[in-house]
Amino acid sequence: MKILVADDDPVSLRMMERTLQKSGYEVITVDNGRRAAEELTKADGPRLALIDWMMPELDGPSVCREVRSRHNDAYVYVLLLTSKQSTEDVVMGLEAGADDYLTKPCHPAELKARLHTGQRILELEDKLVEAREEMRFKATHDALTSLWDRGAIFSLLRSELSRSSRENTPVSLLLCDIDHFKQINDVHGHPVGDEVLQQVSTRLQALVRPHDEVGRYGGEEFLIVLGGCSAADLKNRAEQVREGIGRSSFHTKNGPISVTISVGAMTIEDWDKTLPVDPFLREADAALYQAKAAGRNRVVYAETAVAM
């Protein structure tokens, strides 16, 4: 684990570096408070820090304040080294953002024990962050396909429309439906149907740009939001998606299954943010219905929607 040691005394700095290296730490050393703050606020900076109280440019408590005010990512555990022993000084250091302190000169065994405490706290913080992110993912993603769920893709569509309104750019939609999906379930069973849904989802994500959004609209339907995609560009993009799904079979536990999709496509321009998005989705759904009625495995384009 990386640890930052900040001390303007070169002898103390070198001794601390050797002690920590023997304990298995990757040690970064600096000799003033300003450099310490800069290192600790880097995106990949150390998350464990041993800071001397008295240093040039910024003292230890000032480094703590700087770190706490600027570090918005992973938590940094800061241990202050000080010769100050009054209660007022200790309180000031802790209130500045230090997590713990040691009085100089410190015993190596005590230093090691306190740093291990810091590591345990950081590990706990990582677990809490991981749990929070997992909960956030589950709250916005479809459990089967890991795509955005219906509510999340609607929210992303509204956000993209708001951005397009500010920047005067178009937004295009693809509403995709797996052809004859009921037949896949009836012939091969629902577990195979789930495999198909998962593999179609993966392929759809691979067929769009990194900043495009793909969500499970419901059942075997998917909604793709294409930011900055004009009506002229949409024809190529929609055909690429349709052809990409039908290009090769999907491998399931019951063997290969050929799958095609029908697509309702439309472009939204000059969106008025006071208007709802539901009418546009209905237009895309109507175009999808026409594609299904016309024989499936095709794209039908709704007229460009202009909300004035």
* pLDDT tens per residue across span 121-138: 999 988 998 898 899 999
Say yes or no: 200 and 129 in one domain.
no
Say yes or no: 299 and 207 in one domain.
yes
Q: Which residue has the tokens 């998005």?
A: 277
Three-state SS annotation for 14-64:
HHHHHHHHHCCCEEEEECCHHHHHHHHCCCCCCCEEEEECCCCCCCHHHHH
CB 277 within 8 A of CB 154: yes
Residue 101: which CATH number?
3.40.50.2300
Which of 117, 139, 161 is the last residue in one of the domains?
139
Say yes or no: 22 and 115 in one domain.
yes
Q: Which residue has the tokens 């539901």?
A: 278
Q: Cα–Cα distance between 105 and 117 in angstroms, integer? A: 19
Cβ neighbours of residue 94 closer than 8 Å, sequence gap 6 or more: 101
Question: What is the pLDDT at residue 277?
Answer: 86
For the chain, the domain total comes to 2
Is 293 a member of any domain? yes
CB 237 within 8 A of CB 214: no
Question: What is the pLDDT at residue 304?
Answer: 57
Say yes or no: 84 and 64 in one domain.
yes
13-41 pLDDT, tens digit per residue, is 888 888 888 888 899 999 988 999 889 88
Is 145 a member of any domain? no
Is 213 a member of any domain? yes
Angle in degrees, 0-180, between the axes of helices 33-40 and 60-70, rounded to the nearest 10? 20
Tell me the CA end-to-end span of the chain in Å, nearest whole number: 57
Largest CA-CA distance found in the chain, in angstroms, rounded: 84
CB 280 within 8 A of CB 266: yes
Residue 243 predicted with pLDDT over 90? yes
Is 97 a member of any domain? yes
Is 257 a member of any domain? yes
Domain range enclosing 103: 2-139
Tokens of 16: 């601390």
Tokens of 203: 């392929």
Is 282 a member of any domain? yes
